[in-house]
Structure 1
């Protein structure tokens, strides 16, 4: 089996892996100014998408240009999330170099889409493919790819004995339960593991402890008469925060793309941990339906506002943050990883951020909470411990090489592919 890394090698973003020059797994984009795309746009026979985040699915419609029509395989929520993101990208950047596809190519996505549930094996470009719950966001999947007619087994492999190769692409995953989705537990038989490494040098605090600190902080600010703006990723993080707020009787508003995603996920109850809890959380939250006038009125209340974007790079946060930034009673609680160079990262490090084209000092309190949907070092090692006899290729991280060296020192056959490198396994 030949595996070529077109993106996501030694970096977080633009994940794309080509298997045997026929099967493409993920085709994402790396947000930034300008955004970055995989180093090559291949012409695969089929595409498999692990989950609906921009860094894994953001450039998929560009694969349908000209007369190319490869089928795209994904779970039902991933299909809907991909289309939502593509239409949002068109709205923001259509007709510019920042958008690699057209409205027509997005329409074609619906024509070639094929959806699958977890543990339903299907054929794609001459390979057998199976999705397993990855515990990252609703619909997120580990991807098992088998060539040579290999037969599946329930335990981890130490080598193939039937002429085929089994590749296990972890994609993004979490080994602890979140309120929105259950943890990854599937460990299918595999000869090769392509493993993410986003938090390979981090140990997450227990989620209950993080939730408690967040809720106590929010309640204190509201009690003191302040407003809390909670920037959150629209997919996964917004819904997790709504579930937390409902569980702790914290009233909140929700704004931005997260509203649409929340409505969509309610249509796919099989892909969330507790569909009834999500319904209650939606009822507890007040959806913002107006525009900037209503947002300014809400910002003047002592309340909690969960809104996109999670890194303060756009969305309704561009209205809320300027409204609350000058008063130290108010608070901005960042709830996810802040990529270097984003306004959210600048705010954490300097107390200033470029918001809607203006660099603004922020007197409001700024806090960060590690509501990560990725496995930490312990979680990564717990998964890989099942594959000590398999080859491990480390990707999707800022320290892929270092983590691969640490694994090799512990007896693994581990390495970190370079961007554009092809490896035969």
Structure 2
């Protein structure tokens, strides 16, 4: 089996792995300025997508330009989420030469879509492929590829612990080679129940003091998790931004979440914001909680809420996910200031950060890989892939960290 790394090698973003020059696993984008896409200009016979996050599916419509029509295999949630992300990319970059696809290519996604459930084997570009629940976001999958001689397990992004939204992955299919993500290979997550409890106590304290709490959250996965946390701890909230549409999508697929009834209650507990007639500014003046995109303060309704609440030290901003260096969210955590809509603003409101990550931490990665001690492990999707591969070798694994563009012959 020939495995070529077109993206996501020793980096986070633009994940793409080409198998036997025929089967493409993921085709994402890195949200740099300008956006970065995988290298190599592949022309696959078929595509399999692990899950609906931009860094794994952001470039997919560009594969459908010209006469190219490779079938795209995915779970139903990943199909719908990819469409939402593609439409959002067109809104942001559609009039720019930086966007590699048009509305026409986005519409073609439905023409080539082939959906699958977990553990249902199917044929793609001459390979037998099976998807397994990865526990990362609704519809996320490990991808097992069998070419008749070698079995490749592409983990995608995964989580080994249960959250309110999803159960952690328990799948450990037999494989000869594993391409494993390593996002949090040097991090130990605090127990989720402790993180939840600290978040809820902090929010309730601010509300009791008369303040407003803005909860920046990623639209896919994190918004739904935060709504469920709020409902479970009897905290009323608003929800704004793309997370509203994603919540509606996820509710259509109850078999892809841990507790559909709990998600239903969470949606009922949250008030959806329309944004009409100055509604956001009025909500920002209320003694309430607002779960909103974007999770790193780089766009979305947060651009209205943060300026509206920033001057009052009774108010609070609770970050719920990793803040990439150089983003306004990271700047806010590090300096107490953030550039919002082109203007650097000092923030007097209290700023806190809570680790609601949907990735396996170091312990989770090692526990997962413990089932693959006798196979080749290729580390990708991380800021320290080479270091983690070194650490795995010291533990007896046959591990390496391919570089961007590298080709690997698995046996």
TM range (shorter): over 0.9
Describe the superposition over 1:200-245 as per-residue Cα deviations: whole angstroms up to 9, x where unpaired.
0000000000000000000001110110000000000000000000
Q: Which runs of 5+ in 1 are unaligned?
A: 149-163
1:206 aligns with 2:194: no
Show the counterpart of 1:225: 210
**TM-score (norm: length of structure 2):** 0.99
Q: Give the SS at the match of 2:155.
A: strand
Q: 1:413 aligns with which of 353, 376, 398?
A: 398
1:61 aligns with 2:61: yes
1:402 aligns with 2:387: yes
Show the counterpart of 1:88: 88
1:284 aligns with 2:269: yes
Describe the superposition over 1:135-154 as per-residue Cα deviations: whole angstroms up to 9, x where unpaired.
00000000000002xxxxxx
Deviation at 1:98, TM superposition (A): 3.3
1:79 aligns with 2:79: yes
Q: Tell me if structure 2 keeps the 8 A contact 1:52–1:79.
A: yes
Show the counterpart of 1:343: 328
Q: Give the SS at the match of 1:209.
A: helix
Q: 1:322 aligns with which of 301, 307, 320?
A: 307
Q: Give the SS at the match of 1:360.
A: strand
Deviation at 1:289, TM superposition (A): 1.3
Q: Which runs of 5+ in 2 are unaligned?
A: none
Number of residue-to-residue matches in the alignment: 410
Which aligned pairs between 1:2-401 and structure 2 lie closer than 5 A?
A: 2-148=2-148, 164-291=149-276, 293-401=278-386
- Alpha-carbon distance in 2 for matches of 1:98, 1:183: 37
**TM-score (norm: length of structure 1):** 0.96
- Alpha-carbon distance in 2 for matches of 1:422, 1:190: 19
Describe the superposition over 1:386-410 as per-residue Cα deviations: whole angstroms up to 9, x where unpaired.
0000000000000000000000011
CA distance 1:354–1:292, shift in 2 (3 Å): farther
RMSD across aligned positions (CA): 0.7
Show the counterpart of 1:151: none
- Alpha-carbon distance in 2 for matches of 1:356, 1:295: 16
- Alpha-carbon distance in 1 for matches of 2:123, 2:194: 43
Deviation at 1:13, TM superposition (A): 0.5
- Alpha-carbon distance in 2 for matches of 1:400, 1:238: 28
- Alpha-carbon distance in 1 for matches of 2:277, 2:334: 28
- Alpha-carbon distance in 1 for matches of 2:394, 2:91: 48
Deviation at 1:424, TM superposition (A): 0.5
Q: Tell me if structure 2 keeps the 8 A contact 1:231–1:334.
A: yes
- Alpha-carbon distance in 2 for matches of 1:378, 1:39: 32
- Alpha-carbon distance in 1 for matches of 2:86, 2:207: 36
Deviation at 1:97, TM superposition (A): 3.0
Q: Which 4+ residue blocks in structure 1 deviate beyond 2 angstroms? A: none
Deviation at 1:292, TM superposition (A): 6.6
Deviation at 1:261, TM superposition (A): 0.5
Describe the superposition over 1:289-318 as per-residue Cα deviations: whole angstroms up to 9, x where unpaired.
123710000000010000000000000000
- Alpha-carbon distance in 1 for matches of 2:32, 2:305: 22
- Alpha-carbon distance in 1 for matches of 2:86, 2:336: 32
Deviation at 1:92, TM superposition (A): 1.5
